Amino acid sequence: MPITIADVAARAKVSKTTVSRVLNGKGELDESTAARVRAVIDELGYVPSSRAVGLARGRTRVVGMLVPSLTWPWIGDVVQGAVDVLETERYGLLLFTCNRGEESMRQFGAQVSAKSFDGLLVIEPEGTLEYIATLHRRGLPVVLIDDRDQTSGEIPSVGTTQHDGAGSAARHLLEIGRTRPLVISGPERFGCTQQRSAGFASVFAEAGHPIDGDRQLLGDFTVARGADAVRTALKSDVDFDAVFAHNDLSAIGAMQALREAGRRVPQDVAVVGFDDIPTAAHTQPPLTTVHQPLREMGEAAARTLLAHFEGTPLPNRPTIIPTSFTTRPSTVA
């Protein structure tokens, strides 16, 4: 049976509060009493719970992280970036997902109430933004890793250049002579969809090649919808020589449908995605894509939170890490 603080108190003939004060160096104590307590701790081999000591000091040295699901292909890179920073600074990570909807959020709320972590990193599960903002208003330090470009600025956030990233995809397609792109977007309610659509369309419009409505199809960030969008366009005899998909999964689906239809990538249709998930480099052909700095975003969010613990105010402006562009054989044979 493990030795407890009560065992130490009984052997040293002091209260548990006195033992706690010795452990945490708090309060004025008679030196002979403190020495006796330390001797008993050594004699019994008592090892205090790091969590209990942290709570006594007002700090758990644990950071919470709330994400929609670990099945999303880019979540792992963001989490790993945060973990790299936290482990270096000897913090733990308590990870929460929303796989079970309301039940998951109830369990998360219970951990918030128990003050199980010092601060929170969030990739927002859809529909939870106001709840997260309320936690922040009530004093919980929060940093949002904003993949949807839709925050009001109330919550400190780390984001990327959605508009400019899509613009770089458009410029690349124009440079290789593709002027009739099919665009497969994300859900309209997301700010990132609006930014990517605007950034891409503006470059083509400025080049004298506005994108017709029949070449703009609504997607949902899935492989299946990416494939269905291309099948719909082909069935409707839409004329296109390129595909710009708002994420890599949709682009992968688009390439599948093009292959089924006997269209060659990139000879007949060039394909560009967005995200640069690990799979993108291993598709057939490998996928040209806008690289989101996913790991860097996780790192920056964790550093922001840890700096706040040391006294630096949380920023009132988003931290923006720019995208880059990765060219692969899906656009250049």
Half-sphere exposure of 225 (CA within 13 A, CB side): 17
SS (H, E, C) the chain: CCCCHHHHHHHHCCCHHHHHHHHHCCCCCCHHHHHHHHHHHHHHCCCCCHHHHHHHCCCCCEEEEEECCCCCCCHHHHHHHHHHHHHHCCCEEEEEECCCCHHHHHHHHHHHHCCCCCEEEECCCCCCHHHHHHHHHCCCCEEEECCCCCCCCCCCEEEECHHHHHHHHHHHHHHCCCCCEEEECCCCCCHHHHHHHHHHHHHHHHCCCCCCHHHEECCCCCHHHHHHHHHHHHHCCCCCCEEEECCHHHHHHHHHHHHHCCCCCCCCCEEEEEECCHHHHHCCCCCEEEECCHHHHHHHHHHHHHHHHCCCCCCCCCEEECCEEECCCCCCC
- The per-residue pLDDT for 183 is 98
- The per-residue pLDDT for 184 is 98
- The per-residue pLDDT for 230 is 98
- Contacts of residue 94, defined as CB under 8 A and 6 or more positions apart, other chains included, come to 62, 63, 64, 65, 111, 116, 117
- The per-residue pLDDT for 151 is 59
Distance CA 105, CA 132 (A): 11
Residues 119 and 149 in one domain: yes
- The per-residue pLDDT for 49 is 57
Residues 143 and 86 in one domain: yes
Does 285 sit behind a cis peptide bond, omega within 30 degrees of 0 on the bond before it? yes
Q: How many domains, the chain?
A: 3
Residues 90 and 137 in one domain: yes
For residue 46, what is the domain's CATH number? 1.10.260.40
Residues 216 and 274 in one domain: yes
- The per-residue pLDDT for 25 is 65
Distances (CA, A) of 184 to 35, 172, 309: 71, 17, 42
- The per-residue pLDDT for 132 is 93
Distance CA 202, CA 215 (A): 15
Residues 82 and 155 in one domain: yes
- Whether 7 and 44 have beta carbons less than 8 Å apart is answered as yes
Question: Is residue 94, in this structure, part of any structural domain at all?
Answer: yes
The pLDDT tens digits along the chain (333 residues) read 678 888 888 999 998 888 878 876 666 678 888 889 888 888 887 766 545 555 555 678 999 999 998 888 889 999 999 999 999 999 999 999 998 888 889 889 888 888 889 999 999 998 888 999 999 999 999 999 987 665 557 899 999 999 999 999 999 999 999 999 999 999 998 889 999 999 999 999 999 999 999 999 999 999 999 999 999 999 999 999 999 999 999 999 999 999 999 999 999 999 999 999 999 999 999 999 999 999 999 999 999 999 999 999 999 889 999 999 999 999 998
For residue 114, what is the domain's CATH number? 3.40.50.2300
Residues 66 and 144 in one domain: yes
Distance CA 74, CA 280 (A): 11
Residues 111 and 260 in one domain: no
- The per-residue pLDDT for 146 is 83
Write out the residue range of the structural domain in which residue 91 sits: 62-161+294-323
Neighbours of 333 (CB within 10 A): 11
Over the stretch 25-50, which tens digit does the pLDDT of each residue have? Answer: 666 678 888 889 888 888 887 766 54
Question: Is residue 329, in this structure, part of any structural domain at all?
Answer: no
Residues 102 and 171 in one domain: no
- What pTM value is reported for the model? 0.81
Residues 138 and 215 in one domain: no
